[in-house]
């Protein structure tokens, strides 16, 4: 039930725009939606260096603690839409964020919505394996993708890079459309997914960037123009909580 802003000119809107974080509503004439994508908290399989993919692992005690630290660290970050992958490790991280905000007395906390398009890549028969043990297989697939063969899939019914990018872009653009001009989405997803989407959008804007390690609860920033459907990538895998990730396998 938000009222649209008054009839300010686009010049005035541009003039009042600031890159500083603010909880004031952004001018609704702006077509930009901000998306903050966070990686989930730690799981038992993360701690073991085991590949998760679509395996529905749960947060461990450390992961729950990380999610609580994250919730407190971003309590003043604007949020008009709260979203997560439907896998428990992402959904539970987002639930902890939401419940903590409510306990802290934050107003206008959105309901949590889940979207399976924000899932980690399905790594097929590699799921459940120790990441280091299947490094060679992963490198071969990564090499195929680097050559432009994005439809090369993981063995045993896994997804290809193209599968992930297609569903991911569709999910991100639809979420931005639903959030509406000037909206801010906070979403919890997965390390491989976020890295893939960041690289994809960077290449679309003609940029190549070495991405840092995907720490648990790391923050990645995207700006989506809902009129042109273009996505601009800000900082990727920015450290928010003082934690070292044991593993970055999804």
**Residues known to be catalytic:** 40, 120
- Cα-based angle 186, 217, 101 (whole degrees, multiple of 5): 50
Is residue 21 a contact partner of residue 77, using CB atoms and an 8 Å limit?
yes
- Cα-based angle 56, 64, 218 (whole degrees, multiple of 5): 85
Is residue 216 a contact partner of residue 52, using CB atoms and an 8 Å limit?
no
Is residue 223 a contact partner of residue 234, using CB atoms and an 8 Å limit?
yes
Residue 83's φ and ψ, nearest 5 degrees, are -140, 155
Q: Dihedral of CA 186/158/244/236: which sign?
A: negative
Q: How far is CA 70 from the centre of its chain?
A: 14
């Amino acid at each position: 039930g938000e009222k649209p802003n008054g009839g300010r000119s686009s010049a005035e809107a541009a003039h009042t725009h600031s890159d500083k974080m603010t909880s004031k509503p952004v001018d609704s004439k702006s077509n930009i939606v901000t998306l903050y994508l966070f990686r989930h908290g730690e799981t038992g399989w993360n701690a073991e260096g085991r590949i998760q993919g679509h395996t529905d692992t749960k947060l461990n005690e450390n992961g729950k603690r990380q999610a609580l630290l994250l919730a407190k660290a971003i309590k003043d970050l604007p949020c008009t839409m709260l979203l997560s992958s439907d896998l428990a490790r992402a959904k539970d991280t987002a639930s902890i964020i939401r419940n903590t905000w409510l306990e802290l007395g934050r107003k206008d906390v959105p309901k949590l919505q889940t979207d399976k398009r924000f899932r980690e890549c399905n790594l097929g028969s590699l799921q459940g394996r120790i990441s280091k043990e299947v490094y060679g297989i992963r490198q071969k697939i990564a090499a195929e993708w680097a050559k432009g063969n994005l439809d090369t899939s993981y063995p045993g019914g896994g997804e290809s890079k193209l599968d992930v990018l297609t569903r991911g872009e569709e999910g991100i653009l639809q979420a931005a459309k639903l959030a509406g001009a000037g909206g801010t989405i906070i979403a919890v997803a997965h390390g491989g997914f976020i890295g893939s989407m960041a690289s994809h959008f960077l290449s679309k804007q003609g940029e190549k960037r070495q991405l840092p390690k995907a720490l648990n609860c790391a923050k990645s920033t995207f700006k989506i123009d809902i009129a042109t459907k273009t996505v601009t990538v800000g900082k990727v895998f920015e450290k928010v909580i003082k934690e070292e990730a044991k593993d970055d396998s999804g």
